[in-house]
Structure 1
């Protein structure tokens, strides 16, 4: 046996992902009910435990811990449970004679149904009926729906026909009919899974529309606010740059908040819409007279809503970029204004420093004169003392001769002191 290298911890899980939700082969006639409920939390074992409550009632195997998919037979009723990223889906299938049930969902306990976790986002009944030929399939489809706006097409190369009106009926369910004149059970199962995906993903994609419509009103206000700010920015007579910058910052914060709150929803809508288009193309429709095809309905009804969401997302991105550019321009303007103010302040400080220097020089001159005056007074006292002890000595002559020496020494002493202070406290360089 060949020894393999160390295995990636997710290898088996990723390898089995392509088989995570296999279609369930179905034999006509059959009744199918499917409900999907949104969940605001990631996968939690409580969701699996709720399914376990139901399987225990029927004595059927429960889903294993951590599993997000479970298919089980409960006394002739097949339950398929799927946990997706944003919703959980329960599909109930009764094949053959479904009496006494009008719908497959009636086979489940009502008290269990009413307490299901999440909020209902999609509910659909499907009837699988056998037909002998094309004309019978078309006649059965038209008789099943009283509405004139019927959406339907032949599938599987004409071996089957699918029809719906995409409307919620009085019981809160939408309805599909799938007619068969030769489809295999496996093909039936794949077709049903595609129809359920179309119904669920279609509604999930449309969750972005109310958010987009709400943002349209906000966007108009934000765009008007930006135009007002930029208009004031271009007025040279107004000097309120700081206030405008604060307004721009507040506006940008509101836009970024709206974008952050809607980014996931718009991204999810785009992904769901792509899945709807993919599932529709997999039906391989052939037109039936007087019926609108699924592809046409999706393009005419769902595509405009998706384009609205895409347009709002694009407007938000563009507006965010415009606000960012305006903020940069205004910040530059404010910085230039601050630099000019700093320059004027530096010039004023230079002038003050020059004035202080002149005052200092004046004070230094006066200080030299004052100090010299007192020192010369001391010299005069000394000269008079000498004259007292040595008659014939002229004290005024001694004082007069000492004056230039005293002035020179005093000036030299002040100069040395100033140089010492400047050395200990050098002036800061100014660029």
Structure 2
């Protein structure tokens, strides 16, 4: 508390209403008159930060610093600092200078800049304001939170794909359900599985089904969750994600488009991206934390672009080819996408036969196209009709499978870059389809 109740009350009012510049200027004027120049400088600086051309604030700043005072306007009647406002001592004369006191004790007219710098160090605002959507390069990482889900999907919701389910049972689900056998055979609860195959064939859906089957938490990670323009932030983001998964164990951590995060370092021109790959390797090894109970599932359309270090034993050491859905799966997918549409007399089996090699996304497009056919006829005739079998078959002829382009690329890899045998299952499928 000071010896001036008015200054004390004005200080409290300014603290409650920091954006009231008029009130802040009145307080600064009183502080100058009371010989408290250092405090007045702080308030004048706050006003000038918002209104650089404010002449009253400039005059007060100059006076408080010991410079020549500009002419001050006479205070209004009833305003703080006027006789009616209750100010102690005689008010300054109209047009006369405001009484000033030096900000720091000194024996001459020279400003003690060292002392002034100490006074203003925490007052002068930054020169540039940060944009509202600009991330903070230093702060804000310790309290990062990620979407931790509880999947309600299980493998029973995945139509067909029996070979895939069998492999998942051996790799992940069996050891989890049989702790005694796991202990007997020394099977760890940590592991990494790489799902690869053409786009749109349900790799993400399978990962959610595994999490639901295990009753485990599920965290999905994409490249946008990791990459950041600030040096070191991408690595920190990656570490935070793995820490979150460890804190929610048992947890399935799904790394989507792993080829974008774990691209071959020999092909990367950016040193920052190479350090991201290094950080991912460190996290998979569990160097900075125990990965027991963290099941890492990764998905990619281009496994041949992934750094070989990511696929060595102990990391993403198991691979699983996720092919286009088989007939049973196609029928289930078609039924799912037709469930809320008006249909009549559709033979799902025949439509499934007509859509061999179609991905799940292709089948969704077939249903959408068939609905367009029926809606177009309804508009043309003025009579609403159901989606019929001929709509579905016409749509199947119009929509071509998107997987063909992927298999053209995969064929070259299976034929000429399979010395290690890691693409034997792909080569067998291509041979079955007579694509090699």
So what's the TM-score if we normalise by structure 1?
0.22
| Larger relative contact order, structure 1 or 2 (CA cutoff 8 Å, min sep 6) | 1
More strand by share: 1
More helix by share: 1
When Rg is computed on C-alpha atoms for both structures, the one with the higher figure is: 1
